[in-house]
Structure 1
Amino acid sequence: MTPDYSFETAARAKGYTRIAGVDEVGRGPLAGPVTAAAVVLDPARIPEGLNDSKKLSFKKRELLYAQILEVADVSIAHASVEEIDEHNILRASHIAMMRAVDGLKSPPDYCLIDGNLVPRETTLPSEAVVKGDARSVSISAASIMAKVCRDYVMLSLAQQHPGYGWETNMGYGSKSHMSALQELGVTPHHRRSFKPVHNILWQD
């Protein structure tokens, strides 16, 4: 399955003209923010090779990131570790998504949102698309923008907090990250509400 423009075409048939694809990355990691992107593609200038960011190589994602920035209206936003711990990861990812939508240069009139839920704050006509990053080019583009941006955030945090391997694991609970948590302890960028981090904080 490769993404296409059929969800966007269906929305256009209903009279919508500015259709935003919305996706987030970083629900699973133990550290770092959750990052979302909203992208309104120009149907006449859709970059070749858009797909779920997880299916693309680092190089291909970087290339598409630059191409999408050139031809689309793009907004990227985060929800912080504090917000993840305060609400929960699902709410925080929805907060990041709505921030991304609000940050577009012109407001969209329809949103295609990756997943099975439309964020409760949205006032725009919206549709949840399960596995949307592999089905809609607009959501694919959003997944690429969010992934590349969040990876840069984690690379920067890795320099400030060496030893956790964030430059390769991007905050996910890899073996090396778990053993670093045991040896080096919890940083301000760890999600305290996530069980492995919570357990380390309370094991003393």
Structure 2
Amino acid sequence: MADKEKKEIVLGDGELYMYEFPGGNNIPDDDEIETEENNVGNTSGGTSISYEPEPYEVKNQYGKTVKRVVTSEAVTFTSGLLDWDLEKIKLLTTAKTDEDQEKGTRTLTFGGNNPMKNVLIRFVHTKDSGKKIRFTMIGSSGNGFEMEFNPEEETVVDAEFTAIEVVKNFLASIEEEIEPASDGGNSGEQ
């Protein structure tokens, strides 16, 4: 009997990166996404990823299912933002940001006919082995947000994004770093 590969238990901490997606036909490289400028800082309340396919069943004349196909897919990403940064909160809205250097203020203004922003989201979890799991998605936040200033708890901005197909045939991806194959690069996949 062959030895079974030891599986690592994945815990839910990680770094969250977000920025307005400039467009194009490709997802940027990791070092372009995973920068200090794109890091949203601390998060709270966990991070969740939801995938929901909409199946369609093809039935024969006897009412038996003979085939199932997926007619649409939805991917949703949710996380709580703990750090106060109007530029990151702006990604959740159609609002615009204005700075007045003389007054020393930055203002997020809601209203107007501003389009939804396409936001690139990257969540990176580092396993105990040092290998990374990367979730990547381009989405928009159309569900709004809520902030409660409670003197007994930290203020958390719950962010929810729904994937949109900005890059052809791409809603989201989960990439896991693994040990490279030792047989000259042939992983055995066909």
**Shorter-normalised TM-score: what interval?**
under 0.3
Larger radius of gyration: 2
Whose relative contact order is higher, 1 or 2, with alpha carbons under 8 Å and at least 6 apart?
Answer: 1
- Identify, as 1 or 2, the structure richer in strand: 2
What TM-score does the superposition give when structure 2 sets the normalisation length? Answer: 0.22
- Identify, as 1 or 2, the structure richer in helix: 1
